[in-house]
Amino acid sequence: MAEAPILAAEHVSLRFGGVRALTDVSFEVRPGEIFSIIGPNGAGKTSMVNCVSGRYRPTEGRVTFEGQDITRLGPNRRASLGIGRTFQNLALFGHMSVLDNIMVGRHHLLKAGFLRGMLYWIGGAQREELEHRREVEEIIDFLEIQHVRKAPAGTLPYGLRKRVELARAMAVKPKLILLDEPMAGMNLEEKEDMARFIVDLNEEWGMTVLMIEHDMGVVMDISHRVMVLDFGRKIAEGRPEEVLADPHVRRAYLGEADEVTQPAEETV
């Protein structure tokens, strides 16, 4: 018997006025896999992730997480259920330290209320904060950013800021983590590091990954399954090698033209 999906999108469509961003898109993400969404610019990839994270509400269809309909839930409620995400454009607090930026990701997990906070030293708030700090330090060690933990996030090189955003998404303790172009703008070495971190958080930290990424080499190397969108419609889904061999994908994503059979030359 097949394992129930952790995430399912069922006939999701999204319109902005008269513009269709998504049309009748359905897919499932299985627990413990790295599932990538690819496609050319404007294909609807980020719109689909925004429907999963709660930033957008589908015009039609529904989204379920662990069997629960979350279509109408806001982003904060989805985070509390175990969905974390990064953004294509960095959304860090530049004036805050790396440590504090990551601690923001723990906010919804804090249980100490206002009165306990006032009684910080004699209540449970101090103990709770220390526990959150310990878990954040584990994330910092994992992503190898110990040397910048006290630095303002806005002063860091781009590649390190991308790691800090990943750290903040991990701090949510997600069962499903949504990565929106985690390697965009990186050099080859930075991409290799990020790919390694993504594989490790999937295999060692047990997080299911839903990823948008333009680097086809990375997608094909680390993904278990891939879905391809083009003009807001799903045109392919399957194992990386199957998707890459699909002529519709090669035409839409790689820009390859249909093959034209040339007549054989006549011999005289």
Q: Are 163 and 111 in contact (CB under 8 A)?
A: no
The token pair that represents 107 in the structure block: 């906010």
Q: With helix as H, strand as E and coil as C, how does 212-236 read? A: ECCCHHHHHHHCCEEEEEECCEEEE
Burial-class residue 255 by CB neighbours within 10 Å (0-12, 13-18, 19+).
exposed
**To which residue do tokens 């971190």 refer?**
197
Report angle CA 219, 211, 246 to the nearest 5 degrees.
Answer: 45
Q: Does the domain at residues 1-77+212-259 carry the CATH identifier 3.10.180.10?
A: no
Domain ranges of the chain: 1-77+212-259
For residue 129, what pLDDT is reported? Answer: 66
Percent of the chain's residues with pLDDT above 90: 62
Mean pLDDT, residues 9-32: 96
| Cα–Cα distance measured from residue 242 to residue 220, given in angstroms and rounded to the nearest whole number | 10
Count of H-run helices and E-run strands, the chain: 10, 10
pLDDT digits (tens, 9 = 90+) for 173-226: 899 999 999 998 899 999 999 999 999 999 999 999 999 998 888 999 999 999
Q: What is the pLDDT of residue 41?
A: 87
Alpha helices (runs of H) in the chain, residue ranges in sequence order: 45-53, 75-81, 98-104, 114-118, 125-142, 158-171, 188-203, 216-222, 240-245, 247-252
Tokens representing residue 61 in the block:
């269809």
- Give the span between the Cα atoms of 93 and 242, in whole angstroms: 41
For residues 255 and 154, the model is more confident at 154
